[in-house]
Chain A
Amino acid sequence: MKNLFANKSFSVGFTLLSFFAGLFLLSFLITPFGYNQVFEGQTLLPMQSPYFLGTDDLGRDLFSRILIGSRLSLGIGLLVGLLSVLIGASLGLIAGYFKGRTDYWICQVMNALQALPSLLLALFVVAILGQSLLNTIISVTLVSIPVMFRLVRTAAIVEAQKDYIVSAQALGASPLRILKSHLLPNCMTPILVQTAVCCSEAILNTAALGFLGLGVPAPYPEWGTMLSDARNLIETAPRLMILPGTCLLLLILGMQLISDGLRDQLDPKLRNRS
């Protein structure tokens, strides 16, 4: 752990992420107003008391909306990271360990999922399923699974040939036990690094869907949706566009720096691959 903080990328990323974790916690404690609470006749107010960051075009408090938006972005990001570990990494371990036909079919499905770039796939999944919070999470998760799968599978194939796995097999350990207590701990580095990448991609894709009007539906204050609402107000109230966007950029940057730092520190061999 001490080593990790010696890494510049990791510590900067960790600081950024802590800031947003703070916002996340703060949003449960001191949100001044409701995210959808409209103050009539108080539209587009500049920064002034009691509206810390002013109000938007419908007369809603911007500070409250950004605070609660952090729940959505960070929450979806972490949830998708977790889901892609659960699904993608387990499939990767299984495919890498059993090889043969199992591996072949899982790989075919993953190839099919990667036939389109991430955002396009997410778009078409939303087109099929319809627009809702749950469907946003489903589509963003689907996009992140194959990337995680690929990395873990490669790591698992390398590890599965090593002596300790062979001796565990010879001792008669069940496949489940080998996967859980031998293979998984030794594939932890790529999983950790990739989880951070998946989180940042998930946050970006959620916001991108929101910006295109196909993400988390209104009135939830998702940062991407807020940006798309602010598009027509660039001239009159640029802060409506600047503030949520800066939050988005810093959060994504934080996640990417953490993954860079983890990669540099835990696995120097991977360092220059991007």
Chain B
Amino acid sequence: MIAKIFKILLSFLFITLVSFSIIRLIPGDPAQNIIGERGASEERLIEIRKNLGLDQPLLMQYGHFVLNALKGDFGDSISSKQPVIQEFKVLFPATFELAATALIWSSLLGIGLGIFAAIRRNTFIDYLIVSVSTVGFAMPVFWWGLVCIFVFAVQFMLFPVSGRIDVIFDIPYATGFYFIDAVLAGDGAAFLSACRHIVLPAFVLGTIPLALVTRVTRSAFIDISKEDFIRTARAKGLSSSRIIFKHIFKNALPQILTALGLSLGHLLTGAIMTETLFSWPGLGRWIVTSILARDYPVVQAGLFYSMVIVFAVNFTTDEFVKWVNPRLKESL
């Protein structure tokens, strides 16, 4: 337990150190970088340096940064003039909503397809599933997104391609999750619109996790079905559905969960591409536009938040896998 707390503290220290240094690693004077290429008077530069605390010793600056980071204070965005934390609070639910939807459909379908392919091993349908998932795993997300836009939005005009909801709807802000907000407001039409908007981005974002989960589930199932205890179960005369779900699935679960943990990484990077492609107002798009606009307070905060999110995701996945499969406890 103490080791775990120590690990968390150490990681926090590391995360703050990296995001503290990023502005100072960029060549040139930070104050000059922040004010941009338009140039500023000498007094304005001194004022900015003073506001940022750049006139103090480095260690003091770092101390201030850690304290502010604990409060979630990263200054104001240069392009929108709003506090960075305020923007984050609005954008985070958008990314979470998208990633969660993508993860849910892709893992459920992926596990199903994997089991199906493993049962029908070496048949046409198995070859089909394996080939498609091999291609899917190699698919560049951004191109796949363009193809989906071309087919579903341009050719058949089935789904909208940008934003989270039609502009005519104005649902009161409660949680930031549009699904929940629309239900809370009792607005059925808004809920439907939010659903229609999430279909394409979530479909595109879930494709690579789907391929990964399918492949891993299939190979884990085939491995375990060759074990002795499965033969014993068959010899006992248990029904095949009972063997599949009770015996094989339970033992394949740790491998499947590890694959899900891996696909969370794919989801995070995929979210950057998908959000850019579908103008989804989330964190990924925020980070990319801030890098392009040289909006350094946002870049710094974006780095900090993404490292915190990645750490939290990895930490929980590890703990969860250990909880499901106690045999791993010693080896990790």
For B134, B149, B216, B291, the residue with the greatest tally of chain A CB atoms inside 10 Å of its CB is B291
Q: List 7 A-B contacts (CB under 8 A).
A: A118-B269, A124-B22, A207-B140, A224-B140, A238-B150, A248-B143, A257-B134
- Find out whether the CB atom of B138 lies under 8 angstroms from the CB atom of A234: no
Given contacts A115-B311, A119-B269, whether A211 and B142 have CB atoms under 8 Å apart is: yes
- Find out whether the CB atom of A120 lies under 8 angstroms from the CB atom of B22: no
- Find out whether the CB atom of A120 lies under 8 angstroms from the CB atom of B268: yes
- Find out whether the CB atom of B135 lies under 8 angstroms from the CB atom of A253: yes
Q: Name A residues whose Cβ lies closer than 8 Å to a Cβ of B.
A: 112, 115-120, 123-124, 126-128, 130, 200, 204, 207-208, 211-214, 224, 227-228, 230-231, 234-235, 238, 241-242, 245, 248-249, 252-253, 256-257, 260, 272, 274
Return A146 CB to nearest CB of chain B, in Å: 13
Task: Check: B167 CB closer than 8 A to any chain A CB.
Answer: no
Given contacts A123-B272, A128-B22, whether A117 and B265 have CB atoms under 8 Å apart is: yes
Given contacts A118-B269, A207-B140, A272-B223, whether A245 and B146 have CB atoms under 8 Å apart is: yes
- Find out whether the CB atom of B307 lies under 8 angstroms from the CB atom of A245: no
Task: Check: B321 CB closer than 8 A to any chain A CB.
Answer: no
Q: Tell me, in angstroms, the Cα distance from A72 to B147 when the chains sit together.
A: 23
Return B222 CB to nearest CB of chain A, in Å: 8
B219 surroundings in chain A (CB, below 8 A): 272, 274
Q: Tell me, in angstroms, the Cα distance from A214 to B154 when the chains sit together.
A: 27
Q: Which among B134, B150, B292, B307 is the interface contact of A115 at CB below 8 angstroms?
A: B307
Q: Tell me, in angstroms, the Cα distance from A76 to B269 when the chains sit together.
A: 21
Q: Tell me, in angstroms, the Cα distance from A271 to B179 when the chains sit together.
A: 42
Return A182 CB to nearest CB of chain B, in Å: 28
If over half of A's interface residues share one DSSP class (helix, strand or loop), that class is named, otherwise mixed; here it is: helix
Interface size on B, residues (CB 8 A): 46
A117 surroundings in chain B (CB, below 8 A): 265-266, 268-269, 310
Q: Name B residues whose Cβ lies closer than 8 Å to a Cβ of A.
A: 14-15, 18, 22, 25-27, 134-135, 137-143, 146-147, 149-150, 154, 212, 215-216, 219-220, 223, 259, 265-266, 268-269, 272-273, 276-277, 287-288, 291-292, 299, 303, 306-307, 310-311
B268 surroundings in chain A (CB, below 8 A): 117, 120
- Find out whether the CB atom of A234 lies under 8 angstroms from the CB atom of B306: no
Closest to B276 in A: A212
Return B15 CB to nearest CB of chain A, in Å: 7
A235 surroundings in chain B (CB, below 8 A): 154
- Find out whether the CB atom of B310 lies under 8 angstroms from the CB atom of A234: no
Q: Tell me, in angstroms, the Cα distance from A261 to B125 when the chains sit together.
A: 22
Return B277 CB to nearest CB of chain A, in Å: 8
The 7 closest A-B pairs by CB, nearest first: A245-B143, A119-B269, A253-B138, A272-B219, A127-B291, A117-B265, A252-B138
Given contacts A115-B18, A235-B154, whether A227 and B142 have CB atoms under 8 Å apart is: yes
A130 surroundings in chain B (CB, below 8 A): 27
B143 surroundings in chain A (CB, below 8 A): 227, 241, 245, 248-249
- Find out whether the CB atom of B273 lies under 8 angstroms from the CB atom of A208: yes
